[in-house]
Structure 1
């Protein structure tokens, strides 16, 4: 009898903790979305936690008509794609090679690449700014893209290295014996087998790149090069007055692509994260 009571008590406590955590995680999103529908009068007269007085989409219209949000979206898409494609190609090939190709010093090469995990990106901002200024590429896409590729390589290579360790050697050896070149084996066999790991790294790095602020703020200066994270500042007016309705609407449309992308790829991402956990 005591065991049953303990189990039920434990179940109730777990449910309560899960409910509290769910509210803590979901409420900020709910607050932003509902606030994006509030008018100026709502912000003045209603409590901050109150629902909007009416269903109102004027703030969303304002976001796309009074600011260059479409330009910011274009810039963010170009930068995200420009980071992900080279990053995935380089890190996947490097991780696979270090994992499967045994050559003298491959462990040393991996250790050298992992040193990048210990270097905070912020310490390189001023040197990079000086270098890009001397090269004349400030306020361009390469100035924002290149640092993000460089500082994401160590982490991405480590993930692909771990994933590749558990790819069956027998399948790769069989392909080589059947006459496949190493490159063809990699493209036609290894890549399809690593879809989950590719989507995992693409999702993680894509979200980081989309939400990046410090890179875009440091290396761009014109409105035409702003990203969506910088575009939120458009709704801060004279003497710091803020159009909160438009700001919350801009935040909503800014984070929406990352939510959609994550929910589409979350199943593959979880499979990729756990792929190397247990060796069969």
Structure 2
């Protein structure tokens, strides 16, 4: 089955079965991703009586914003968000600094054994995170880091370093080698090449890695639940587990409201930086 449809002034593109199936698949994926978010937001606006008197897919009768007030005050969401920020952003800074230095050393500088060092970083991607939970828990207990943001910062930085170095090495590999060689011929030092030549060309790469790692760390539950046993020190994902016990089985409104609040930072960052991140991913995939 083929047909012709206009794709622009003077251009007609064929409509094939594969193209139609592809569009249908994209629409289904969008529905799978978007419909639950819409249902979650609408459910967070329902009054408590609506959850027992109406079907779960029914629209709310009004805007019951008290659910968000309850989630923010009784649910301790402000504390959870602060704990997540204290654990996430310092870890991202550490990863960016170390990733830039490691990527520069592995791809720009020439020295014996750099290929083997890169393989060692890649080997870190193959280590299951569950295997390091017990050793890290024992270490943090002995040094007194349990229920501390520093425990999560160190864990996030260590577990995120292999992927960061791997991605940063790819970005350095895609840089035009002629620019770096010209700067060296003109007498630029290694530090000048790093800060003045390569760093400005890696702004999209830095942003891409920071956003990718932010999603991983902000949505982490495994480490947060293991290393933060005190309720006041838990991050937002671990704190959400307390909402069912706090509000009970009938107060779903505040529970859904708290989930919506936890989604806002990641959704806002994605909407604001989506184009820059896509550009950064394309830069790392194509060799300059």
> TM-score when scaled to structure 1?
0.93
The 3-state SS of whatever aligns with 1:165 is helix
Change (3 A) 1:275 1:48: same
Per-residue CA deviation, residues 228-258 of structure 1 (Å, 9 max, x unaligned), is: 1122133223796352111110000101100
1:97 to 2:118 alignment: no
CA distance in 2, matches of 1:38, 1:15: 34
Counterpart residue number, 2:161? 153
Aligned length: 279
Q: Is the 8 A contact 1:197 1:273 kept in 2?
A: yes
The 3-state SS of whatever aligns with 1:102 is coil
Task: For residue 108 of structure 1, report the CA deviation from its aligned partner.
Answer: 0.9
CA distance in 2, matches of 1:48, 1:192: 51
Per-residue CA deviation, residues 214-235 of structure 1 (Å, 9 max, x unaligned), is: 1111111222211111221332
CA distance in 2, matches of 1:113, 1:12: 43
Say which of 191, 195, 218 aligns to 2:226. Answer: 218
Change (3 A) 1:184 1:244: same
Q: Superposition RMSD on alpha carbons, in Å?
A: 2.0
CA distance in 2, matches of 1:9, 1:278: 30
Counterpart residue number, 2:240? 232
Say which of 152, 156, 178 aligns to 2:186. Answer: 178
CA distance in 2, matches of 1:9, 1:172: 47
1:193 to 2:201 alignment: yes
Q: Is the 8 A contact 1:80 1:206 kept in 2?
A: yes
Counterpart residue number, 1:241? 249
Per-residue CA deviation, residues 18-39 of structure 1 (Å, 9 max, x unaligned), is: 3222211111111111111111
Counterpart residue number, 1:16? 24
Q: Is the 8 A contact 1:236 1:242 kept in 2?
A: no
1:254 to 2:262 alignment: yes
1:63 to 2:62 alignment: no
CA distance in 2, matches of 1:123, 1:242: 38
> TM-score when scaled to structure 2?
0.91
Extract unaligned runs of 5+ from structure 2: 6-13
Task: For residue 50 of structure 1, report the CA deviation from its aligned partner.
Answer: 1.2
Counterpart residue number, 2:95? 87
Per-residue CA deviation, residues 35-85 of structure 1 (Å, 9 max, x unaligned), is: 111111111011111111112211001111212211111111111111100
Task: For residue 136 of structure 1, report the CA deviation from its aligned partner.
Answer: 1.4
Counterpart residue number, 1:45? 53
Q: Is the 8 A contact 1:237 1:243 kept in 2?
A: no
Task: For residue 181 of structure 1, report the CA deviation from its aligned partner.
Answer: 2.4
Say which of 123, 128, 150 aligns to 1:142. Answer: 150
Say which of 24, 27, 37 aligns to 2:35. Answer: 27
